[in-house]
């Protein structure tokens, strides 16, 4: 198994290369397809971002070493590694291509959206570290903490959707 740092660097390199290829191969005919797959990736990413901290709420109240705790570890790891992280990478790659093609870089609403996406990515990193802590039986956070954390992706998602659909400024 590779270290988290190697995986993170590899993910960033893959994301950058894929974004570069999409930018170079840009076409107006691709735009609606890329947008559709971006929305699908965002939905998958948000599903993981909303469910993972909810799993932590229940896992935090489970005795270390119990069969239930071990089951949560498997569920959390698979959710993060099979759905949430790949979906985030795809959402970023396609999102970069979309903004490159649309020319929204200078729009104030886009800056607000991008700020929220960066914050959401930071929360993703926090949840990734928490998944590792739970896997290694090192979680020190309460179920209440995870209930509060569970609301952050929801709030960010609401702001992002409003920025993209309404474009209030």
CA distances from 1 to 7, 64, 77 (A): 10, 24, 14
Of 131, 158, 143, 132, give the one whose Cα is nearest residue 61.
143
To the nearest 10°, report the CA torsion of 137, 141, 143, 145: -150
38 is in an annotated binding site: yes
Identify the H or E element spanning 54. helix 31-60
Which residue has tokens 């649309």?
Answer: 102
Per the annotation, where are the binding residues? 38, 113
Binding residues for heme: 38, 113
């Amino acid at each position: 198994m590779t270290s988290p740092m190697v995986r993170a660097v590899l993910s960033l390199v893959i994301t950058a290369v894929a974004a570069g290829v999409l930018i170079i191969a840009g076409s107006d005919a691709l735009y609606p397809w890329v947008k559709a797959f971006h929305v699908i990736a965002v939905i998958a990413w948000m599903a993981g971002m909303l469910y993972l901290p909810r799993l932590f709420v229940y896992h935090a109240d489970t005795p270390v070493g119990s069969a239930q705790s071990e089951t949560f570890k498997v569920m959390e790891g698979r959710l993060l590694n099979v759905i949430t992280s790949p979906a985030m990478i795809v959402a970023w790659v396609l999102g970069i291509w979309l903004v490159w093609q649309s020319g929204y870089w200078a729009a104030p609403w886009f800056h607000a959206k991008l700020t929220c996406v960066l914050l959401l990515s930071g929360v993703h990193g926090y949840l990734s570290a928490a998944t590792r802590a739970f896997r290694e039986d090192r979680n020190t956070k309460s179920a209440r903490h995870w209930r509060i954390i569970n609301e952050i992706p929801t709030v960010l998602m609401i702001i992002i959707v409003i920025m993209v659909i309404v474009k209030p400024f």
